[in-house]
Structure 1
């Protein structure tokens, strides 16, 4: 075990000693990170897909996290704002379970929107900002 620790320390001295981040490399890394951001349309489609079954907001948040979406990290309230807007647009409905827990489920109108969004996801862009502002999409 001690030999592995020594190997690691020796490797750090040799391998990373001359490592330098040029401005160009920093710029390239920043661009790669920006391109990797979650797309609003992917989040919206995923939310609607996940709501094919009744789910609580907390369960939905956990499912989104498990799929790699981090947009709602430290801002869970934004998810509930999104759910409220989807409910106002009649894309989702709420129901109360027998143990008095509010659950969300996709509506018939939401299923139509989801089908259209899935078809157009490569050619169009859905913006959560537009949704929150009240603009109707795909109609």
Structure 2
């Protein structure tokens, strides 16, 4: 497989990218844009609240967030557990252990109320954007 990819790369350099010249500065800027996280903390919190409507482990949650395109925790899963701990201190979620030793997280009543308010506010933002884009 790797030989085929090397062959493809060589072929593309000779055809597709032959006339393109990237300076080192441009390459760095492109790489920075690709690796920068464009995810806002509010969007991440909303996604976590939505996913914790039923019990989930931290691992399950990280997989579901990745499925939603949130990559913030892909490089640093510890950050997810820090966020979960902070949410637990704010009484938005609670956690418990099952008999196998896995820790589960779920919304509290306060977390459900915050989720409802957040979804309502997010819906208004989307509605406003639709109004602006329609002729």
- TM-score normalised by the chain length of structure 1: 0.67
Corresponding residue number in structure 1 for 2:16:
15
Q: Does 1:105 align with 2:106?
A: yes
SS of the aligned residue for 1:69 comes to: coil
Structure 1 residue 64 displacement after superposition: 1.2
1:77 and 2:78 equivalent? yes
CA distance in 2, matches of 1:7, 1:26: 20
Distance 1:61 1:10, change over 3 A: closer
Equivalent residues in 2 for 1:1-139, closer than 5 Å: 12-21=13-22, 33=34, 37-121=38-122, 123=125
Supply the distance in 2 between the matched residues of 1:63 and 1:57 (Cα, whole angstroms): 10
Displacement after TM superposition at 1:45 (Å) = 0.6
How far apart are residue 35 of structure 1 and its match? 8.8
SS in 2 for 1:112: helix
Cα distance in 2 for residues equivalent to 1:72 and 1:93: 20
Taking the aligned partners of 1:40 and 1:86, their CA distance within structure 2 comes to 13
Q: Name the structure where helix makes up a greater proportion of residues.
A: 2
Q: Mind listing any 5+ residue stretches in structure 1 that lack a counterpart? A: 1-5, 124-139
CA distance in 1, matches of 2:92, 2:45: 11
> What's the offset of the Cα at 1:41?
1.4
The CA deviation string for residues 76-121 of structure 1, in whole angstroms up to 9 with x for no partner, is 1111111111011110011222323210001110010011111223
Contact 2:37 2:72 in 1 (8 A): no
Measure the CA separation in 2 of the matches of 1:47 and 1:7. Answer: 40
Shift in Å at residue 42 of structure 1?
1.4
RMSD: 3.3
Shift of 1:14: 3.7
